[in-house]
Structure 1
Amino acid sequence: MAELQKQEPAATGRQRMPRAERREQILAAATKAFARAGFADTSLDDVAAEAGVTRVILYRHFDSKSELYRALLDRACTRLAENVGTDDFGEDALPALLKTAAADPDAFRLLFRFAAREREFRDLTDTLAAASTEVTHRNLAKQLPPGPWLDWAARLIPTLTTEAVIAWLDAGRPDPDQAAARIRAAVHGVIDAAAAAVRNSGPRPGTVDRSSADPDG
């Protein structure tokens, strides 16, 4: 680090960019670079070139590539929470999710597709997946009885939703005014399938439903 700092060019008289602004510039550039080539195949030199800064400046903000990658994932999570929320999801949640993804497609793809493939960052993506499942489970419990089909739907819907948004991005963002409604229809399809499975899993004809039978009968 000391050797790198010695290599820093002398000041040219230009005003230095504020630290927070420089950090944001680096994170934005790193998001593009990692989304283009992946974590393993992207070097800090690649990020520095994308950001238009020296490696020395990069090291002023991040000690390693892993720290930089985790910082941009944290940044994506923070923006997602600010725009979409973290608790019960209402009618505005899907439009907000689409708007967030459209504002920074590379960050959305890194968070929901690429980061999960990197073992080093699975703790973050697993935590995010568990939180999404828990919130979905709580919301679905108002419509479905406890049991395996509620658990199935709660696990499937977050994945279906994020993959639907990524597919929409990959397809060129068609019909943006209708995209939320179409993804919502797919989500309701999962709920309807779970509800039908619950109905069909009742006691077979000629058997006794012992869970509701009179124990003294």
Structure 2
Amino acid sequence: MTASQDTDERPRTGKTSTGRLPRSARRNQLLGAAEEVFVAQGYHAAAMDDIAERAGVSKPVLYQHFPGKLELYLALLDKHCEALVEAIRGALEATTDNKLRVQATTEAYFAYVAAESGAFRLVFESDLTNEAAVRERVEAVTRATATLVSKVIAEDTDLPEEEAMLLAVGVCGLCQITARFWLAQGGTIPKDEAVRLVSSLSWRGLKGFPMHGGDGVTH
């Protein structure tokens, strides 16, 4: 690759500022533009022309960074799957109080879904799940988030790992589906109240399981 390709050409149209960008900055710019187009149009309706125009670059510049539309979509999917996993990890590590962990985990899902970008749709509402690479990533993020939750359940209860994992999938699924439903209804219930309701439902179920050497998951 030549030195000129590392900085790309000046943007020609769109919202971007003029001037050359380092390759990493250009890549982030292109991902941002692609995210807007994919979220608004879905994978199948989106075109590389649309993404290049949104980014304010020529198609050759776009293809310097991503050889095709699928590779661009997968890069975005990886980014937002990782963001969700890290949000759940952070929620669980923020406290040792299990009730607060449930609340923080629920809040993490609601915040993820409520983000202005709407990028959660790439993960939870993709129109490309018939593509193996997409399906594998969606399934992987489901497993990864549930595994984080299941480890906490298994550590604090007498449940075997398989049962802890089943409960964790249920907790994560409840958070994800209710957050999406809440958003689809226009957020008529304030987010904090929605989080409180859903986390209360999860906690009332989880706290009934016996702790190691105790009567229930009470802390």
Give the equivalent residue in structure 1 for 2:142. Answer: 129
Q: Could you report, residue by residue, the CA deviation over 1:157-209 in whole angstroms, capped at 9, with x for unpaired residues?
A: 212211222222222334023232122123235547x86xxxxxxxxxxxxxx
For the structure 1 residues 138 and 112, does the alpha-carbon distance in structure 2 shift closer, same or farther, using more than 3 Å as the test?
Answer: same
| Displacement after TM superposition at 1:148 (Å) | 7.4
* Pair 1:97-2:101 in alignment: no
| Displacement after TM superposition at 1:87 (Å) | 8.4
Q: Equivalents in 2 of 1:98, 1:10: separation in Å?
A: 38
Query: Counterpart of 1:18 in structure 2: which amino acid?
Result: P
Give the equivalent residue in structure 1 for 2:66. Answer: 62
TM-score using structure 2 length = 0.69
Contact 1:30 1:47 in 2 (8 A): yes
Bigger drift between 66-75 and 181-190 goes to: 181-190
For the structure 1 residues 149 and 65, does the alpha-carbon distance in structure 2 shift closer, same or farther, using more than 3 Å as the test?
Answer: same
The number of equivalent residue pairs is 188
Q: Equivalents in 1 of 2:182, 2:128: separation in Å?
A: 20
Give the equivalent residue in structure 1 for 2:126. Answer: 114
Q: Equivalents in 1 of 2:199, 2:123: separation in Å?
A: 21
For the structure 1 residues 113 and 102, does the alpha-carbon distance in structure 2 shift closer, same or farther, using more than 3 Å as the test?
Answer: same
Give the equivalent residue in structure 1 for 2:98. Answer: none
| Displacement after TM superposition at 1:104 (Å) | 4.2
Query: Counterpart of 2:167 in structure 1: which amino acid?
Result: A
Q: Equivalents in 2 of 1:11, 1:122: separation in Å?
A: 34
Query: Counterpart of 1:126 in structure 2: which amino acid?
Result: E
For the structure 1 residues 137 and 116, does the alpha-carbon distance in structure 2 shift closer, same or farther, using more than 3 Å as the test?
Answer: farther
Alignment of 1:188-203 (within 5 A): 188=203, 191=206
Query: Counterpart of 1:137 in structure 2: which amino acid?
Result: S
Contact 1:101 1:108 in 2 (8 A): yes
Gaps in structure 2 of 5+ consecutive residues: 13-17, 94-100, 210-219
TM-score using structure 1 length = 0.69
Give the equivalent residue in structure 2 for 1:213. Answer: none
Give the equivalent residue in structure 2 for 1:169. Answer: 183
Identity %: 28
SS in 1 for 2:45: coil
Larger Rg: 1
Gaps in structure 1 of 5+ consecutive residues: 196-217
Give the equivalent residue in structure 2 for 1:208. Answer: none
Give the equivalent residue in structure 2 for 1:211. Answer: none
Q: Equivalents in 1 of 2:11, 2:119: separation in Å?
A: 33
Q: Equivalents in 2 of 1:28, 1:66: separation in Å?
A: 15
Q: Identify the match of residue 152 of structure 2 among 139, 143, 154.
A: 139
Query: Counterpart of 1:125 in structure 2: which amino acid?
Result: V
Contact 2:88 2:148 in 1 (8 A): no
Give the equivalent residue in structure 2 for 1:17. Answer: 21
Q: Equivalents in 2 of 1:111, 1:180: separation in Å?
A: 21
